[in-house]
Amino acid sequence: MTRSLVTGGAGFIGSHLVNALVARGDQVSVLDNLSSGSLDFLASSHGAFEFHQLDLLDDEFDALLDGIDIVWHLSANPEVRTGITEPEVMFRQNVDATRLVLEAMVRCNVRDIVFTSTSTVYGEASVVPTPEDYGPMEPISSYGQSKLEAEQLIERFCSEDGGRAISFRFANCVGPRSNHGVTFDFFHKLRAEPKALEILGDGKQFKSYFHVADCIAGMLAVSLAEACPNGGFTALNVGSEDGIDVVTVADAVCEALGLSGVEYDFTGGVDGGRGWEGDVKRMLLAVERLRDCGWVPQFGSRAAILDTARWLDENY
């Protein structure tokens, strides 16, 4: 039996991961401060895991690493735009928290970690779809920079402390329990005003959206032993195999809500039609490495958005 500890395990992606780990028979401990997560997300696995409400930045957690085989580090601030108004908060929650996790792992002799990173570490890549060995990586947002710095801490942990790590670089993950992002924003805007929708930027932003079911399947498709046979650090992209523009996202949300004739109002955005400062306007990841591990995504971008919007409509 694998003994897994999941940070951020009550969040959107974390809760789905906990459900999957419990289902496969892992002994699971969950750490979450419930700032954005919810115990309701874990209801289907009730009683099959240990839950600890704590903050990685403020609370001691070494004792919870006793006997743990692998840490799944998902705790983070997922709001890209937070980095514009509060970059110090972004770096504290994404970089400092990762450093504290790694330091505790060293003290407790835990050497395996899986980290959830982001496509934004690549910045505005000149190669699209973007492979894992693309460089130089030049993030244009505090969010992307914070995740890149966290990856660098993990790489150092692997080289200096004998660690073994996978960093999954995500496209835009959507699906049931989604609680942020463009689909979530559009849904709530249309609930408030079903005849008009404000769209940040020029509507031409082109990105990959992938379903949380494909996300979890990808994370479980490859083991650390397979990805890092000689130890060390490796990165793997996870995303859909297609991309869509923001107008198509809006169309899909309107379809899911049964709305027609919605008037779109584009803000025009900043710096060439971006939705906000640091918004990568075109993103699509190469996912061949994960496919070679047997992973096959079941959703395209538009289908993933539709499913998310329908879930939101049924649950809010």
Pair (119, 200) in one structural domain:
no
Pair (96, 156) in one structural domain:
yes
Condensed to tens digits (0 to 9), the pLDDT of residues 116-170 reads 999 999 999 999 999 999 999 999 999 999 999 999 999 999 999 999 999 999 9
Checking if the pLDDT of 79 tops 90, the result is no
* CA pair distance 311, 7, nearest whole angstrom: 25
Residue 309 φ then ψ, to 5°: -65, -35
Checking if the pLDDT of 305 tops 90, the result is yes
Q: Give residue 142's domain range.
A: 3-173+210-238
Question: How far does Cα 142 stand from its chain's mean position?
Answer: 15
Pair (168, 233) in one structural domain:
yes
Exposed, middle or buried: residue 114 (CB in 10 Å: 0-12, 13-18, 19+)? buried
Condensed to tens digits (0 to 9), the pLDDT of residues 9-56 reads 999 999 999 999 999 999 999 999 999 999 999 999 988 999 999 999
158 neighbors 165 (Cβ within 8 angstroms): yes
Q: Cα–Cα distances in Å, from 222 out to 19, 148, 249, 292?
A: 18, 22, 30, 10
Strands (E), the chain: 3-7, 27-32, 49-53, 70-73, 112-118, 164-170, 172-174, 196-199, 206-207, 209-211, 232-238, 244-245, 263-266, 282-283
Checking if the pLDDT of 86 tops 70, the result is yes
* CA pair distance 175, 20, nearest whole angstrom: 15
pLDDT at 177: 97
| Residues found in the chain | 316
Pair (193, 155) in one structural domain:
no
Query: Per the domain annotation, does 44 fall within a domain?
Result: yes
Position 83 confidence tier, pLDDT thresholds 50, 70, 90:
low
Work out whether strand 206-207 and strand 244-245 pair parallel, antiparallel, or are unpaired.
antiparallel
Query: Per the domain annotation, does 234 fall within a domain?
Result: yes
Condensed to tens digits (0 to 9), the pLDDT of residues 277-292 reads 889 999 999 999 999 9
* Contacts for 28 with CB less than 8 Å, ≥ 6 apart: 4, 5, 6, 9, 18, 21, 22, 45, 48, 49, 50
Strands (E), 74-189: 112-118, 164-170, 172-174
pLDDT at 84: 78
Instruction: Look up residue 17 and give its amino acid.
Output: L
Condensed to tens digits (0 to 9), the pLDDT of residues 199-229 reads 999 999 999 999 999 999 999 999 999 999 8
Pair (141, 39) in one structural domain:
yes
- Can the peptide bond before residue 136 be classed as cis, meaning omega within 30 degrees of 0? yes
State mean pLDDT over 256-271: 93
Pair (76, 217) in one structural domain:
yes
Pair (274, 142) in one structural domain:
no
Domains held by the chain: number: 2
Mean pLDDT of the chain: 96
* The two three-digit tokens of residue 90, written as one number: 């972004």
